Amino acid sequence: MAFTALGTQGPQQVSALGLGCMGMSDLYGASDEAQSIATIHAALDAGINLLDTGDFYGAGHNEMLLGRALKGRRDQALISVKYGALRSPDHSWLGMDGRPAAVKNFAAYSLQRLGTDHIDIYRLARHDPAVPVEDTIGAVADLVKAGYVRHIGLSEVGPEIIARAHKVHPISDLQIEYSLLSRGPEARIFPLLKTLGIGVTAYGVLSRGLLGGSKPQGPADFRSHLPRFSGENLNRNQRLVAALGQVAQGLGATGVQVAIAWVLAKGSELGLQMVPLVGSRTLAQLEGALGALRLTLSAADMALIEQAVPEQAVAGTRYAAEQMAFLDSER
């Protein structure tokens, strides 16, 4: 496993790939807890140390799962936690809460569920427009001073919020969706991160499995409600997936591996410390994703990949309209 720093102010020994744990508890339908824990253990054994969760994934289930998986192995992991998303018992979304008192309350519950005395990276899942970002980051800075949080991250915010937050306390990294099918951050966000020395944890690197040929597995799978997986959009996007598969075959790899390797290579190309998060829910998925680390893409390979999957060719937005409205990064 290769390691990198996550920004100039973040953890300095972060695995080249991180493991996104959301799908083990939420949004993708039923999952097997024993398989999930085995996958987390296999990731740790392979050298992956960045584990990403959210306090609202499965209404706390994901944090408790991660806590069980890390018993006796906490020192091998960097835990990244998103907080602030409000959900009702029927799993619907109610908005965000970035108030200082709420932030500290969320942290108290996360520490308990994770069974740890500190969170390595703590980040508001989406910007709360009702609360100045300075107030939210100031509250997390208090948690840093008290030893409950080690580093402060951001998630899905644009240049103005990034700059304002960074003035309050150094930001380790921005978590944002980035893939062959979602290249929006390249224009305005990534240049600012490079200037400020802020790293990137890139999620959705497979566009929720789309680039690997995965399809929604029923109504409990939230992808069945996403524009890129619906109707004619899906048909158009599957043609891109097929084109990527052809390129991958020529490289002796899978489409999944090429998509992940492309993100790794783009991080270097753009001068960013970028760690792709892979949402592997099974040992087989994890093994496939790890194969991306064995790929070295040349400039010619990168050009071929981007020709097969042009930047503007994707059909549909990355979330449904009501979720897109929460994304400060899209403004």
Give pLDDT tens digits for 29-56.
567 889 999 999 999 999 999 999 999 9
* Residue pair 205/278 in contact by the 8 Å Cβ criterion: yes
Residue 318, CB half-sphere, CA atoms under 13 Å: how many?
25
Specify the number of domains making up the chain: 1
Give the per-residue pLDDT at 331: 82
Catalytic residues: 57
As beta bridge partners, residue 173 has 199
**Range(s) of the domain holding residue 282:** 3-330
Asked whether residue 27 carries a pLDDT value surpassing 70, the answer given is no
pLDDT tens track for 86-119: 989 988 889 999 999 999 999 999 999 999 999 9
Give the per-residue pLDDT at 316: 79
Name, in order, each residue with C-beta under 8 angstroms of 11's C-beta and a sequence gap of 6 or more.
5, 50, 78, 120, 121, 150, 151, 172
Q: Three-state SS for 64? A: helix
* Residue pair 170/196 in contact by the 8 Å Cβ criterion: no
Burial letters for 247-258: b for 16+ Cβ neighbours within 10 Å, e otherwise?
Answer: bbeebebbbbbb
Domain harbouring 84, CATH code: 3.20.20.100
Give the per-residue pLDDT at 90: 85
Q: Please tell me the pTM assigned to this model.
A: 0.93
Give the per-residue pLDDT at 211: 85
**CA 265 remoteness from chain centre:** 17
Nearest in space to 82 (alpha carbons), one of 138, 134, 136:
136
pLDDT tens track for 239-296: 999 999 999 999 999 999 999 999 999 999 999 999 999 999 899 999 999 999 999 9
